[in-house]
Structure formats: C-alpha cells, structure tokens
Amino acid sequence: MSLEPIMKLRGAGLQIGIVTARFNAPICEKLLAGARRALVEMGVDANDIAEVTVPGALEIPFALQAFGATEHFDALIALGCVIKGDTYHFEIVCNESAAGISRVGLDHDVAIGNGVLTSYTEDQAVARAEQKGYEAAQAAVEMALLQEWTHANFGEA
C-alpha cells in the first residue's frame, strides 16, 4: 500500500470556507497566503471560496460551525497562530481550539484542514506559516475528495 493520496488533489467545483484568526496577524496573513496559493494550484475557483476573520484561535471553531451548519461547503480551513508565552494559557488555547475544530468536522460531516500553527517562538511561527497554510488547504481538499470517493464507492451513511 502506498502512502500517497488515493486521488489527484483537484479542487475544481469544491466550495471552500476559510476562517482566519486576526491575532498574530502578520503570521496569519502568511498562513492565508499559503492556503490561497494551494487552492489556486488545485484548481479551486476564487468564486468558490468564502473567507472570514475572527479575533483569535478560540473563536475559529464557532465560525467553522456557522459555515458547517449551512451544508454549503465541501471543505473548511482553519488558520491561526498561537505562540507560547509564560503562562498555561498557551496550552488551553491550543488544546481547546484543536478540539473545537475537530468537533465541527465530525458534527457537520465536513472536511477540515487545521492550519492553526502552535509555536514556542515567533521565529518558529514565521518560518512555518506559509507552508502550514498551504498544507492545511491541501488536507482540506484531500479529505473532501476522500469523502466524495467514499460516498461514491460505498454509499452515504
């Protein structure tokens, strides 16, 4: 068995929602640039992408849930950046945002690419940001296509 995706990552016709946090904005802008670049390369039309921003990583799941509840989107992308400070707050934000993002995908049966970057330093975040956004978009499209493939080959639940 190969560890390659079972299908080409072609996103033409997919409806994509992107939620980007504004906290650590310069880094989040790089995440968004990477996601947009990946979507273009995979053939997603700009008119098929809806984008919103939220204050921070903890607000991302709420916005994703609003998107998911519409049943309009094939895939959602979560983008944000959490940088460790001197308190336990870092762990809470990272864990709760990740749990909320996962829950939305499972509750609404929608593919989600999690591009919430969790770093110990700003330098680490800057170095990884654009690639992480790119990879989150790829993951979202791949999982949407996997869901389509599964339904086509095995039926819907």
**Which residues on adjacent β-strands are paired with residue 54?**
21
Assess if residue 157 is contained within a domain.
no
CATH of the domain at 77: 3.40.50.960
Classify residue 144 by burial, with Cβ atoms within 10 Å: 0-12, 13-18, 19+: buried
pLDDT in tens, the chain (157 residues): 677 777 789 999 999 999 999 999 999 999 999 999 999 999 999 999 999 999 999 999 999 999 999 999 999 999 999 999 988 899 999 999 999 999 999 999 999 999 999 999 999 999 999 999 999 999 999 999 999 999 999 987 6
Assess if residue 43 is contained within a domain.
yes
pTM: 0.95
Assess if residue 15 is contained within a domain.
no
Side-chain-side CA neighbours of 95 within 13 Å: the count stands at 5
In the chain, the number of structural domains is: 1
For 122-143, write each residue's pLDDT tens digit.
999 999 999 999 999 999 999 9
pLDDT at res. 31: 99
| Measured distance CA(91)–CA(153) in Å, rounded | 40
Assess if residue 64 is contained within a domain.
yes
Identify the active-site residue in 72, 89, 108, 151. Answer: 89
Assess if residue 13 is contained within a domain.
no
Assess if residue 11 is contained within a domain.
no
72 is a catalytic site residue: no
Domain carrying residue 26: 20-149
Assess if residue 8 is contained within a domain.
no
Assess if residue 9 is contained within a domain.
no
